[in-house]
Amino acid sequence: MNKLYKEVSALSRAGEVALGVIGTILNVLFLIFMTLAVVSTTAVDTTEMKQMFEEGIVNEDPTITAEDIAMINDGIEVGLDVFGVLGWVLVGALLLSVILSIIGVVKVSKNKSPKTAGILFIVAGLLSGILLLAPILLYIAAIMCFVRKTPDHLKEDPFYQNDVQSTNQHL
């Protein structure tokens, strides 16, 4: 009988757990992709890139001046620097998002504090982006954490409450 109560309580939040895990996996994949993109961008040799871009511009428009080319090269350099800094900020936000979503999944899977897990899912979704698939899944999991209630017959059951259950096992 005790095992049945544990299974019912674990299954009551299966949807939130599944959405949280899928959102976390998508965030990890996006984190890996962004890290590789930022590392490859910061490691690129700008002199070769400037030469190739300069040759392409001169071939398209032979009337372009050296000042225009220098201005374009400066713009490319600034753009790469800005992407490098913003990319690392995004990587940090994604890493924090992954950590928060993992904590949220753990909290909701143990069914200890689904409201806290919902808040963690929302913050994780905001940190990982607004309109990507992973944050949308995390938002749905958060809404489910806030809306779904624990069945009353399970709230009153001493086997459902983790604190009571752990104290009974030590006796």
> Which of 97-106, 109-118, 135-144, 146-155 has the weakest average pLDDT?
146-155
For the record, the structure tokens of 43 come out as 């490691």
For the record, the structure tokens of 37 come out as 């993109």
Domains in the chain: boundaries: 9-165
* Dihedral sign (CA 125, 127, 131, 134): negative
> Which of 20-24, 68-72, 79-83, 99-103 has the weakest average pLDDT?
68-72
Given a cut of 60, whether residue 98 has pLDDT beyond it is: yes
For the record, the structure tokens of 27 come out as 């965030």
Comparing 129 with 28, which gets the higher pLDDT? 28
Q: Residue 103: which pLDDT band, with cuts at 50, 70 and 90?
A: very high
CB of 158 within 8 A of CB of 1?
no
Query: Residue 30: which residues within 8 A CB-CB, separation 6 or more?
Result: 94, 128, 129, 132, 134
Q: Residue 154: which pLDDT band, with cuts at 50, 70 and 90?
A: low
pLDDT digits (tens, 9 = 90+) for 38-86: 998 888 777 777 778 778 877 887 788 888 888 888 888 888 889 889 9
> Which of 32-36, 57-61, 91-95 has the weakest average pLDDT?
57-61
Q: Residue 162: which pLDDT band, with cuts at 50, 70 and 90?
A: low
C-alpha to C-alpha distance for 101 and 64, rounded to whole angstroms = 52
CB of 116 within 8 A of CB of 107?
yes
For the record, the structure tokens of 145 come out as 């954490």
> Treating both helix axes as pointing N-terminal to C-terminal, what angle do 133-147 and 14-42 enclose, rounded to 10 degrees?
150
